């Protein structure tokens, strides 16, 4: 593009800019004249991050940035493009803009930028209801990401966030849970607003509860984002997660009335009872010492509040899910458990383990005393 045309354009944009931002344009013009592309990219990024620059982002990108796009870092080029895309009139225009941006960076040397732009386009497709198109783009992005030794966390974060949105729309709760946690692992939680953090914590909690393949909430229970629900109208949901983790049927019965506040939890009410019953079973096994894990069906029924005729099915379900390992004596109606799936412990559970360790220590000392007494002179002091 003719340098004089660009100079006139920048002058027009400087005059149209708010007074406190006009100095930035003088810097932009200076770096452009001197062909300091790295510095120019950085100052444009700072300018685009200023909310007051919103109306100028698209014109600047189309009439200025595209003229030297090949000379700057392609990932930063895409970042500028994504910022400009926020000013498109609607998602259809935005998709067209991002499609052209994606095509421009589809080169062997800029595959990270290509993935970044491709994922951004798939996010718009999700909003437009094109789930097949979004899934195709996300699968393509994932296949490229798998080939990288390293890539900017911003690219991974965008991918996981969009992938989570897709699975949430499809109500694949386990996949949403996994991708949402991976997204949170890629970002600084302080970058989320309070409302965004609470919304993410709420969605993660619901997904963890109603997923038929998630029975260990440890990663979520330990994540600081869950604390965003404390002292809010959704604090009961956090309490419910902890009740499930420790198999606390009494707490569940108290919190059960809150399920009607979330239609997904209300729809899965029967399943939630089955899930808390499984948690109560694993907790009952965990509380017992390893040498005392042969439990009668009657004992299990008492511990889990499940009807006696349904106990065998409950145990078989726990075994099939890998929550327990052991065997069932159908004739004697006894379950012999030799392993229980590890999980995050709360303070009460830790205290129970402390008591068990003290009992174990005491029994070892008693055994040592007995051996010493029986062995007498055979044992050397």
Residue 26 carries which DSSP code? H
CA–CA separation, 105 and 263 (whole Å): 43
- Residue 148's region, left for phi above 0, alpha for psi from -120 to 50, else beta, is beta
Confidence of residue 2 (pLDDT cuts 50, 70, 90): confident
Tell me the backbone φ, ψ of residue 358, rounded to 5 degrees.
Answer: -65, -40
Locate tokens 């390893």: which residue? 290
Contacts of 156 (CB under 8 A, 6+ apart): 145, 182, 186
Give pLDDT tens digits for 266-281. Answer: 999 999 999 999 999 9
Pairing of strands 324-329, 294-296: unpaired
57 pLDDT higher than 60? yes
The reported pLDDT for the residue numbered 145 is 95
Percent with pLDDT over 90 in the chain: 80
pLDDT reported for residue 196: 97
Q: CA 333, CA 343: separation in Å to the nearest integer?
A: 27
Residue 251 CA to residue 236 CA, distance in Å, equals 11
């Amino acid at each position: 593009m003719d340098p004089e045309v660009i100079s006139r354009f920048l002058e027009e944009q400087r005059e149209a800019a708010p007074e406190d931002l006009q100095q930035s344009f003088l810097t932009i013009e200076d770096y452009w004249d001197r062909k300091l592309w790295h510095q120019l990219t950085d100052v444009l990024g700072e300018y685009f991050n200023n909310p007051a620059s919103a109306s100028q982002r698209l014109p600047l990108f189309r009439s200025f940035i595209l003229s030297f796009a090949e000379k700057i870092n392609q990932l930063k080029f895409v970042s500028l493009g994504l910022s400009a895309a926020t000013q498109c009139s609607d998602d259809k225009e935005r998709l067209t803009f991002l499609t052209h941006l994606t095509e421009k960076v589809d080169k062997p040397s800029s595959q990270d930028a290509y993935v970044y732009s491709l994922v951004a386009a798939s996010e718009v497709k999700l909003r437009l209801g094109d789930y097949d198109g979004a899934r195709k783009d996300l699968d393509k992005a994932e296949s490229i990401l798998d080939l990288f030794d390293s890539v900017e966390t911003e690219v991974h974060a965008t991918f996981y966030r969009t992938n989570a949105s897709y699975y949430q729309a499809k109500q694949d709760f386990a996949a949403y849970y996994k991708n949402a946690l991976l997204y949170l692992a890629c970002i600084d939680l302080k970058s989320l607003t309070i409302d965004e953090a609470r919304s993410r914590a709420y969605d993660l909690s619901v997904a963890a509860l109603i997923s038929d393949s998630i029975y260990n909430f440890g990663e979520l229970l330990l994540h600081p984002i869950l604390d965003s629900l404390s002292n809010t109208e959704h604090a009961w949901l956090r309490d419910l997660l902890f009740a499930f983790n420790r198999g606390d049927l009494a707490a569940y019965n108290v919190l059960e009335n809150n399920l009607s506040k979330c239609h997904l939890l209300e729809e899965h009410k029967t399943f939630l009872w089955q899930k808390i019953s499984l948690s109560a079973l694993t907790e009952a096994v965990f509380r017992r010492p390893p040498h005392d894990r042969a439990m009668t069906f009657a004992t299990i029924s008492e511990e889990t509040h499940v009807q006696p005729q349904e106990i065998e099915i409950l145990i078989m379900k726990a075994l099939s899910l890998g929550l327990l390992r052991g065997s069932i004596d159908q004739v004697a109606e006894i379950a012999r458990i030799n392993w229980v799936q590890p999980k995050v412990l709360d303070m009460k559970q830790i205290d129970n383990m402390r008591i068990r360790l003290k009992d174990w220590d005491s029994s070892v000392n008693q055994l040592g005393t007995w051996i010493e007494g029986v062995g007498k002179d055979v044992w050397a002091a």
